[in-house]
Amino acid sequence: MGLSEVSIAENADILDVGCGGGANIARLLSRAPKGTVTGIDYSSVSVKKSCEVNAKAIAAGRCHVVEGSADALPFDEYSFDLVTAFETVYFWPEIEKCFAGVRRTLKDGGHFVIVNEDDGLSGNNEKWEKMIDGLHTYTPDELRTHLTAAGFHDIAVRRDEQRHWLCVMVEK
Ligand SMILES: C[S@@+](CC[C@H](N)C(=O)[O-])C[C@H]1O[C@@H](n2cnc3c(N)ncnc32)[C@H](O)[C@@H]1O
């Protein structure tokens, strides 16, 4: 469940928010061989690692990685065909502001995809929330509510009920 769920044009312009060590940037680059992938993460360690992992694509001008936060995306309106968020929205502050910012950066008809390996319904969420300060494991309904408040419609939710994985897709 995740990237395989998403159809990606070969020339797509993609943003991966909370890109971590850049493994998904590399996957996205191979899914859009004539496109571009931008990564953003608020951790300088993650940005450095993402740059190392994707050095060739950066040298070729197909990849950019910037340090910054999901609640203040430093990109123009209508920049991206696809915005992805893997295993990261749990940590975002002011989630509706973040989602509205994602929507602003999407082109009309562009997609936002959230992949969480915890759907908030596993019974483990309280344990995680106590262990990791600031973490919130969103249920599908909570994500629907916040995405709707941020201006998204037609919210598609896919769940792996056994593993409690969640993939949410919306179109601008
Ligand atoms: C669990 S890691 C997932 C990394 C990567 N997306 C992956 O799936 O391998 C969460 C990432 O989200 C980043 N992150 C958390 N809050 C963020 C925020 N407000 N803005 C940008 N990045 C954030 C963290 O620095 C971390 O790299």
Each residue of 46-68: pLDDT tens digit? 999 999 999 999 999 999 999 99
Each residue of 111-162: pLDDT tens digit? 999 999 988 888 877 888 888 888 899 999 999 999 999 999 889 999 888 8
Q: What is the pTM of this model?
A: 0.96
Give backbone dihedrals phi and psi of 139, rounded to 5 degrees, phi first: -80, 165
Q: What is the pLDDT of residue 1?
A: 60
Nearest residue by C-alpha to atom 4 in ligand 1: 20
Q: Which atom of ligand 1 is nearest to the CA of 20?
A: 27
7: pLDDT strictly greater than 90: no
DSSP per-residue string spanning 135-160: -----HHHHHHHHHHTT-EEEEEEEE
Pocket residues: Cβ below 6 A from ligand 1: 18-20, 23-24, 41-43, 46, 69-71, 86-88, 91-92
Degrees (nearest 5) of the Cα angle 100, 22, 31?
80
Domains of the chain from N-terminus onward: 3-171 (3.40.50.150)
Side-chain half-sphere exposure of 37, counting CA atoms within 13 A: 29
CA dist 33 and 45 (Å) reads 26
Cβ atoms of 71 and 39 closer than 8 Å: no
Nearest residue by C-alpha to atom 14 in ligand 1: 18
CA of 91 to the centre of ligand 1 (A): 7
Q: What is the pLDDT of residue 25?
A: 98
Percent of the chain, pLDDT > 90?
80
Assign 3-class secondary structure to 63-130: EEEEECCCCCCCCCCCCEEEEEEECCHHHCCCHHHHHHHHHHHEEEEEEEEEEECCCCCCCCHHHHHH
